[in-house]
Amino acid sequence: MGKLDLRLYLVADMQADHSHDALFHQVIAAVVGGVTVVQLRAKNLSGRPFYELALALKQRLDVLSVPLIINDRLDIAMAVDAAGVHVGQDDLPVPVIRRLWAPDKIVGVSTHSVAEAKTAVAQQADYLGAGAMFATSTKDNTTALALRDLTAIVAAAPIPVVAIGGINADNAAVVMTSGCAGVAVSSAVMGADDARAAALAIKRSLLV
């Protein structure tokens, strides 16, 4: 996975009623504020619009030397030559992704238990996303993961773990006590009036 910095991982969730310009503005402002990795999630977009969005975003992020991860859609990740892809438990298995894509590409996997984490590690995932830690507006029907469970996942995984779900400047420092490599944020930054300031506040909280 090289030197991928997972400390402040932004999930840019593109909704059907959002404009590309609005998403770009928030993402770039967040990167200026300290975001180190960007994942593009666009569950409501079909192939062509998702491809065009991802390509345009990657071109902007390349200038800033920030890697782009694509949520779920391996075809889009391959088409735009993204840094990697992030998959859930019901998405393409890691071994299939490895067979289809270049071996140097990053593969992240969402996990909710030690058992899922061990499976992802055995399948050669590069990092894990663990959560949801707190209630979140970006996903429905999520069950909160206790801090002790996150700590257990971190202890069981020899690869980096990123905590996700409802994380903001007020709770990020507590989450980091688990030993995780970083935190993934979405609405706390993407929904902020000032995305740069929101990202900076979370980044500063990680140093406490």
pLDDT digits (tens, 9 = 90+) for 101-134: 999 999 999 999 999 999 999 999 999 999 999 9
- What is the number of other CB atoms lying within 10 angstroms of the CB of residue 64? 12
Give catalytic residues, as residue numbers.
41, 110, 139
List of residues 6+ apart from 70 with CB closer than 8 A? 39, 40, 54, 76, 77, 80, 82, 84, 85, 86
> Per the structure block, which two tokens stand in for 20?
């590309």
Instruction: Provide the token pair at 68.
Output: 């782009």
pLDDT digits (tens, 9 = 90+) for 76-95: 999 999 999 999 999 999 99
Q: What is the pLDDT of residue 142?
A: 63
Beta strands in 80-139 (DSSP E): 84-87, 106-111, 127-131
H or E stretch including 163?
strand 161-164
Domains of the chain from N-terminus onward: 8-206 (3.20.20.70)
Q: What are 146-200's pLDDT values in tens digits?
A: 999 999 999 999 999 999 999 999 999 999 999 999 999 999 999 999 999 999 9
pLDDT of amino acid 138 = 61
- Tell me the per-residue pLDDT of 25-70, one tens digit each, with 9 for 90 and over: 999 999 999 999 999 999 989 999 999 999 999 999 999 999 999 9
d(CA 47, CA 80) in angstroms, rounded, equals 12
Q: Would you place residue 139 in the very low, low, confident or very high pLDDT band (cuts 50, 70, 90)?
A: low
